[in-house]
Structure 1
């Protein structure tokens, strides 16, 4: 029997979700419930964390392909945006933070089973197609994707409703190139998450943490450079917690250094003026959370030796259960109130 596919795109987390990944916040949700006729209904979404110094991160998507071994690819070239069918669509990932999403594929029939790869074809031919707008200058810069395609791990469609979120961690995925004229979007920090079982983690952040210790006390803008880093595992030694880096770093990281699984920027909630962070789509499990007030220069590739956590007390051990909406408020006494 067939299955139906719904694709939702959420926005970036800054640390940014984008479309269908195998993850995407720029994230995808995947919920599965039983259905008597063996039809699978897939919902895909994008989610992300925002880069603090950017105004827009805009992608023009031409197609999304689902690959199966020994079977023809399922290629989606018509999208449903705000109830209308369109051949392509553009999305500003920064407009979909946390758990917010943009629906792009709805009730597409697909065969249940394993899809080993998901590919998002992005139009990067010219500046007007896919671009990044920097906040301070307002300048538009070309956004590039290697080969014009984001290739993500696949997913398994069971009969019934399927909701996946592709979560984009822009703090990990988006790189300003050496020429400083273009940005490269990679699949680092992009993951596909199952919305049926995923947890969320959010909380308020005490603003006194922004500039009470060195070197943060010297910041001219205390509200800048504040991030929350999330690591997989609950027994990680503090000295092994590292900033964002990849194997491409030209600065050697310590042998036991662990890069974060996800990163969230601390942002001000405009109605309440509270400072808060938000991880929209996380698999259940054990985590270590660390706050840093000195993350402004954290490069997505290079190891920067940023002290973690900062202040030193801002370390939290957290266990997330399936579908839990967890709250951990970061306070001066580090009690996760």
Structure 2
């Protein structure tokens, strides 16, 4: 019945209304009006956007206040999605496979997008966003022009037609948090972001031998640095060939085994390298840090690769 069809149209966009009405009035779509309606519904596209984090040493909290997301289609004006209430997220709590939703099943046009911008409150001398350390000290996190430009991700991505496309943004804190000279009460947050299509993510889980972890240098700062490609020569964050991402090595109190998880990787070849100097690695300085062992690993989409470093 027409009334029944009308009820189903209530959430259609203006462009979808034109398509449906043209098909109903001209009967030129090669099928019944109900088939046409279903075809239009199937072409609606949605995006889900999550955020996760690679770690930073000695910090206990890295809290950022997000106020919205902006997406830039390849053609057309940017799309703004402002939150009704700011989302306060402790990025340091998002380790391994953990993530937090920023956008969920939001209807957008399908196609290519040039960039994404995370809107934040992160002003100088203001504790809306902040970092806390093991010694109990806390400092505001300051994003230069943060309230205007936010945290911009310049990687392109594609939203598929007729379905929900889900992405995760990896917020690499080890690369992003800067302790600058001249700012007493603030740390600077310089975004080091990458976006991963959740339909193609891969994960690496691994263990590190007691022989390596029992070395005196591994009393603290034990981390796995991940480099793109096999047989890569490992280097520090401030070098010309920094790691793609990193992960802490943690002692499993029940099994007594040293473990790590690297999640949200694209399928491919990687070199994993163990360092116990991660706490000495400044993101904007070419530091001389030591790597104790490396291993090659290949990953596949939606699969978990297991490795041992010894």
What is the TM-score when the length of structure 1 is the normalising length?
0.73
User: Could you give the per-residue CA deviations for residues 295-321 of structure 1, whole angstroms, max 9, x where no partner exists?
Assistant: 3211111111212x21xxx21111112
Distance in 1 (CA, whole Å) between partners of 2:272 and 2:289 is 15
Count of equivalent residues: 267
1:9-48 alignment, distance < 5 Å: 37-48=42-53
Distance in 2 (CA, whole Å) between partners of 1:112 and 1:64 is 17
The 3-state SS of whatever aligns with 1:209 is helix
The 3-state SS of whatever aligns with 1:58 is strand
Shift of 1:69: 4.2
Q: In the alignment, is the contact (CA less than 8 A) between 1:198 and 1:283 conserved in 2?
A: yes
The 3-state SS of whatever aligns with 1:115 is strand
Q: Which structure's relative contact order is higher, taking Cα pairs within 8 Å and 6+ residues apart? A: 1
* Corresponding residue of 1:321: 300
Q: Does 1:183 align with 2:183?
A: no
Q: Does 1:227 align with 2:223?
A: yes
The 3-state SS of whatever aligns with 1:120 is strand
User: Could you give the per-residue CA deviations for residues 194-222 of structure 1, whole angstroms, max 9, x where no partner exists?
Assistant: 1111101121222431343xxxx3x4xx4
* Corresponding residue of 1:209: 212
Distance in 2 (CA, whole Å) between partners of 1:123 and 1:271 is 40
Distance in 2 (CA, whole Å) between partners of 1:275 and 1:211 is 10
1:109-188 alignment, distance < 5 Å: 109-125=107-123, 126-136=125-135, 138-148=136-146, 149-153=150-154, 154-159=156-161, 160-179=163-182, 181-188=185-192
**CA 1:303/1:200 → structure 2, altered by over 3 Å: closer, same or farther?**
same
**CA 1:64/1:229 → structure 2, altered by over 3 Å: closer, same or farther?**
same
Q: In the alignment, is the contact (CA less than 8 A) between 1:211 and 1:293 conserved in 2?
A: no
* Alignment match of 1:74 (pick from 74, 79, 82): 79
Distance in 1 (CA, whole Å) between partners of 2:132 and 2:254 is 25
Q: Does 1:91 align with 2:89?
A: yes
Q: In the alignment, is the contact (CA less than 8 A) between 2:229 and 2:271 conserved in 1?
A: yes
Q: In the alignment, is the contact (CA less than 8 A) between 2:58 and 2:279 conserved in 1?
A: no
Larger Rg: 1 or 2? 2
Distance in 2 (CA, whole Å) between partners of 1:63 and 1:293 is 37
Shift of 1:280: 1.2
Distance in 1 (CA, whole Å) between partners of 2:213 and 2:247 is 15
Q: In the alignment, is the contact (CA less than 8 A) between 1:209 and 1:293 conserved in 2?
A: no
The 3-state SS of whatever aligns with 1:329 is strand
The 3-state SS of whatever aligns with 1:241 is coil
Shift of 1:192: 0.4
What is the TM-score when the length of structure 2 is the normalising length?
0.79
Shift of 1:271: 5.2
Q: In the alignment, is the contact (CA less than 8 A) between 1:130 and 1:143 conserved in 2?
A: yes
Structure with the bigger percentage of helix: 2
**CA 1:271/1:166 → structure 2, altered by over 3 Å: closer, same or farther?**
farther
Q: Does 1:290 align with 2:273?
A: yes
Q: In the alignment, is the contact (CA less than 8 A) between 1:47 and 1:280 conserved in 2?
A: no
Q: In the alignment, is the contact (CA less than 8 A) between 1:67 and 1:74 conserved in 2?
A: yes
* Alignment match of 1:277 (pick from 247, 255, 260): 260
